[in-house]
Amino acid sequence: MDPLMKAFKLLTSNGIGFLRLCAEYSPYDLADDGIEISLAKNYTRLASTLFSPCDSPRIQREAVALAEERQLSVNHLLMINKHAKKLKARGAAWKLRAELIAREGSLEEVEAYAKKRVMDEGGDTKKKPGVRLGRVVDGLRTISITDTQRRITDLEKTLDAAIKDDDQPRSEALLEPFWNLVEGGGTGLIKPEYRTVITIGLDDFAKVSCGKGEDVVVALSDGTTMTGAEFINAAMAGSLGDKLYVGLFHPTAGPVNLYEARFASEKLRTLAMAENLVCPWPDCNVPADRCQVHHIDAHKHGGHTKPSNLTMLCKYHNGVNDDDGPRKKRKRPSPGKPKRGRMRRHRGKVRLHTPGGKLVGNTHHVSSMGAMDLI
């Protein structure tokens, strides 16, 4: 390993030791050593939280010891504290810090879990519906609309359907359809018809069908969710169409094989959407409705058009995926080191295989509600 990388790894694996040093200095002292003042203040505040007297001394002591044992980085500890401090009830913040310090996973995976836990505990202020207008900057103003996921997604689909230039950046391409709709030139919002894939486990479907699915939440391939009651209402309104398709998934192999063809049929596309409701590339939030079908093992290298070799990727990540990267059973050497990584199926689920060999999943909340997560 490169000496600089070794030094960096030594620093990142000694977060608690570094913060103990920070506790002995003011942020301005740290700034004199080349650390920007805002970062230095973050370090000293975190050090004060970790090592100062608190309302849960035993939990604090055990959590700090575990963080040191697990060699968590400063950034990992900053992330944990950012979410835990939102809980104001006595002892709640340290209880969550201890829980997050003990949780396995990458920083991004633990953060996704932390956001959910804070929401469950009522620590995050919920957004309120409304329209907000920004001030003028360089002759331009910004409008921001917050409303239910269903209404905003229906608006998005309406604007998408009116895009005339697919080569434009999406934000620019949506502008004229938006004003056309506002000024009365359009035909109104598109009525929801769920060609969108809805994933629901067999047990939950039985509950919903019997009218007992009030607590059931299902995810859709347009990036939204709906309750069991909304699912039934959509069916009663005819929004689900006149056909019900059932996809069969194996816990480790993924979708069951259907056809062999160069281009994915509509059934294969539906299976791929049911498995990955949003683009599975880490940090991507493009819903499967706007994604392209992607061959995990490239067709040009002999990859078959079957469910277990297909996934959904947004246009951008489908383009940057390293089709020529290392693959199992490769018959010829890779022409070059992968630059961005490539999608791979691991234990049934689609993950990004990074150039360094790590498997990373998308932490989008809908990403964890696809068909493979229901079995």
16-20: list long-range contacts, CB under 8 Å, 24+ apart: 16/50, 16/64, 16/67, 16/68, 16/72, 16/77, 17/68, 18/43, 18/74, 19/43, 19/46, 19/47, 19/50, 19/51, 19/74, 19/77, 20/47, 20/51
Each residue of 127-186: pLDDT tens digit? 889 999 999 899 989 999 999 888 888 888 888 888 888 788 888 989 998 998 888 876
CB 354 within 8 A of CB 341: yes
**Residues 193/199/200/205 CA torsion (nearest 10 deg):** 30
DSSP class of 155: H
Q: Domain check: are 114 and 135 in the same one?
A: no
For position 131, what pLDDT does the model report? 93
Alpha-carbon gap, residue 345 to 353, rounded angstroms: 9
- Residue 57 in domain: yes
* 196 burial via Cβ count (<10 Å: 0-12, 13-18, 19+): buried
Q: What is the pLDDT of residue 335?
A: 47
Q: 110 and 152 share a domain?
A: no
Q: What pTM does this model have?
A: 0.54
Residue 55 in domain: yes
pLDDT tens-digit map of 176-233? 989 988 888 766 676 655 556 777 777 777 777 666 666 778 787 777 788 877 776 7
The reply to whether 288 and 356 lie within a common domain is yes
Q: What angle do CA 51, 56, 61 make, to 5 degrees?
A: 45
Q: Is residue 214 part of a domain?
A: no
- Whether 203 is in a domain gets the answer no
Does residue 343 fall inside a structural domain?
yes
Please report, in tens digits, the pLDDT of each residue of the chain (375 residues total). Answer: 677 777 777 777 889 999 999 998 888 888 877 788 999 999 999 999 999 999 999 999 999 999 999 999 999 999 999 999 999 889 999 999 999 999 998 898 899 999 989 988 887 777 889 999 999 899 989 999 999 888 888 888 888 888 888 788 888 989 998 998 888 876 667 665 555 677 777 777 777 766 666 677 878 777 778 887 777 677 656 666 655 555 656 666 666 543 333 445 677 888 888 889 999 999 898 999 889 889 998 877 878 877 888 899 998 899 889 887 654 444 444 444 557 889 999 988 999 998 888 888 888 888 888 888 877
Instruction: Show the domain range for 150.
Output: 130-182
In this structure, how many other beta carbons lie within 10 angstroms of the beta carbon of residue 208?
20
- For residues 85 and 35, state if they share a domain: yes
In terms of domains, do 151 and 113 share one? no
Residues 104 and 135 in one domain: no
| Structural domain ending residue among the three candidates 74, 101, 120 | 120
Q: Which of 97, 120, 143 is the last residue of a domain?
A: 120
Burial of 243 (0-12, 13-18, 19+ CB in 10 A): exposed
Residue 72: Cβ-neighbour burial (10 angstroms; 0-12, 13-18, 19+): buried
Q: How many structural domains does the chain have? A: 3
The tally of CA atoms less than 13 A away on the side-chain side of residue 306 is 13
Give residues with Cβ within 8 angstroms of 252, minimum separation 6. Answer: 347, 348
Instruction: Let me know whether 61 and 43 are in one domain.
Output: yes
Which runs of E-coded beta strand occur in the chain?
130-133, 143-146, 198-199, 217-220, 225-227, 249-250, 254-255, 292-295, 310-313, 342-346, 349-353, 359-360
Are 116 and 365 in contact by the 8 Å Cβ rule? The answer is yes
Note whether 365 and 112 are within 8 A (CB): yes
My answer on whether 110 and 142 are in the same domain is: no
The Cα 307–Cα 345 span in angstroms is 11
Q: Answer yes or no: do 10 and 115 share one domain.
A: yes
The Cα–Cα gap between 247 and 268 comes to 10
Tell me whether residue 102 is in a domain.
yes
Task: Indicate whether 70 and 167 sit together in one domain.
Answer: no
Looking at the structure, tell me whether residues 145 and 112 fall in a common domain.
no
Residue 290 counted as domain residue: yes
**Sheet containing strand 342-346, strands side by side:** 342-346, 349-353, 359-360
Q: Identity (one letter) of the amino acid at 211? A: G
